[in-house]
Amino acid sequence: MQKRIFLIAAAAATSLVLAGCAGGGAGGGAGAGAASATAAPSDLRIGVSLPSQDEERWISDGKAIKEGLEKIGYQVDMQYANNDIPTQQQQLDQMLTKGADLLILAPLDGTALAPQLQAAAGANIPIVSYDRLIRNSSDVDLYVTFDNFKVGAQQATSLLEGLGILNKDGTEAGAKGPFNVELFGGSLDDNNATLYYKGAMSVLQKYIDNGTIVVKSGQDELAQITIENYSQDKAQERMDNLLTSTYTGGPILDGALTPNDSIARGVITALQNAGYGPTLESDPKPMPITTGQDAEIASVKSINDNVQYSTVFKDTRILAEQAVEGAQDLLAGAEPEVNDTQTYDNGSMVVPSFLVPIQPIYMDNIESVLVESGYYTPEEVKTGRLQ
């Protein structure tokens, strides 16, 4: 818990410098939610729309947001869109019809909610974009997220560390390769997927250019490597196809840049089915280095078992807390805390943002980062299942 308090304090300290810099959004900045400023929390209703319950992280986010809002006393309308854009649109329409006073949205498609956003703005309903950026709209009051460019850069750095190219401190470790690596990308309808990719390539490109890393499939553009909806099954299918087309009867795959844990697990399943891993002594093919994101419990167990190499921990407790605090400020007619007023241009405005720190996870820091902070129990790490 001390680590968590430190992260919150550090983020808050940074935000003091920029707290007054937030621009106007759906309700015009400080006036947003002014009509609700004198209302009791129990009289206010907040609509929360998240992408799906297929990924553990969105379930954790939803639980943390709902508990935080209800602790203050707000009514909460929590909906999951089942990875279906029309469903999310319909759910938002229903939230507005039922009298939502504020919306917290993690959009499936950052550009697909224009009618709902315009309706909310017309009713002076503040909008918080949660983790995924709402694009091409000036009707956004606040964006709470992680530094997703840094997430991608960290994934690439972890990959290089696992291959022995870099040390943990970022210095050159001496391994020259060439190493065969395949790249996987996130879902194109998620703005964060572009940020992960750009962050990763900012680290990897020079090693691709100098031949240390070889992408034998030739597929290195985001449009070529994208995995729709971050689907584990689709990731497994793509890895199966790559192994058949490029790695049959000769070259060995050394690593895969995998942008989140569900994609990593799909890739690992395909690799295990193809004989990679520690079990086939007659024809040993070491498990390639794989990365990840979200520190989902199944992948944390996989890291602890020395199968997946790393993940990026994004503490959704802190992110949810920041969303709740931002919602509370907006409903009071106040400016929410921000610590970034330059980075997130959504095509219509630079959205005032609050960025939460990230933490890479390896086998040797699962205990100190995830268990000691209370995020997981030792038994959950051991079994790979939440209790």
Residue 339 phi, psi (nearest 5): -135, 15
Question: At 48, which helix (H) or strand (E)?
Answer: strand 45-50
Q: Alpha-carbon distance 384 to 238, whole Å?
A: 25
Query: Taking the domains of the chain in order of start, what are their residue ranges?
Result: 2-146+316-356, 148-293
H/E segment holding residue 16: helix 2-18
Which pLDDT score is estimated for 279? 55
Alpha helices, DSSP H only, in 297-384? Answer: 297-304, 316-331, 378-383
Task: Give the span between the Cα atoms of 294 and 57, in whole angstroms.
Answer: 7
**The pLDDT of residue 92:** 97
Give the sign of the dihedral formed by CA 295, CA 297, CA 300, CA 306: negative
Q: How far is CA 280 from the centre of its chain?
A: 35
Mind spelling out the 3-state secondary structure of 101-156? CEEEECCCCCCCCHHHHHHHHHCCCCEEEECCCCCCCCCCCEEEEECHHHHHHHHH
Count of Cβ atoms closer than 10 Å to residue 364 Cβ: 9
C-alpha separations of 371 from 152, 255, 367 in Å:
24, 28, 5
DSSP state of 294: S
Q: Tell me how far apart the alpha carbons of residues 153 and 257 are, in angstroms, rounded to a whole number.
A: 11
Q: Which residues of 177-209 are buried (b: 16+ CB within 10 A; e: fewer)?
A: bebbbbbbbbbebbbbbbbbbebbbebbeebee
> How far is residue 59 from each of residues 64, 156, 247, measured CA to CA in Å?
9, 27, 37
2-146+316-356 and 148-293 share one CATH topology? yes
Architecture of domain 148-293: 3-Layer(aba) Sandwich (3.40)
pTM: 0.83
Query: Is the backbone of residue 287 left (phi > 0), alpha (psi -120 to 50) or beta?
Result: beta
Residue pair 200/207 in contact (Cβ under 8 Å)? The answer is no
* C-alpha to C-alpha distance for 269 and 72, rounded to whole angstroms: 43
Identify the pLDDT of residue 192.
93
d(CA 163, CA 182): 13
Rg (CA), the chain: 21
Per-residue pLDDT of the chain (387 residues; tens, 9 = 90+): 333 333 334 433 333 333 333 334 444 443 334 456 778 999 999 999 999 998 888 999 999 999 999 999 999 999 999 999 999 999 999 999 999 999 999 999 989 999 999 999 999 999 999 999 999 999 999 999 999 999 999 999 999 999 999 998 889 998 999 999 999 999 998 999 999 999 999 999 999 999 999 999 999 999 999 999 999 999 999 999 999 999 998 899 999 999 999 999 999 999 999 999 975 455 568 999 999 999 999 999 999 999 999 999 999 999 999 999 999 999 999 999 999 999 999 999 999 999 999 999 999 999 999 999 999 999 999 999 998
The reported pLDDT for the residue numbered 24 is 41
Q: Give the pLDDT of residue 284.
A: 67
DSSP at 305: T
At the topology level of CATH, where does 2-146+316-356 sit? Answer: Rossmann fold (3.40.50)
The rounded distance, in Å, linking the Cα atoms of 141 and 52 is 23
**Nearest 5°: CA angle at 83, between 81 and 88?**
35
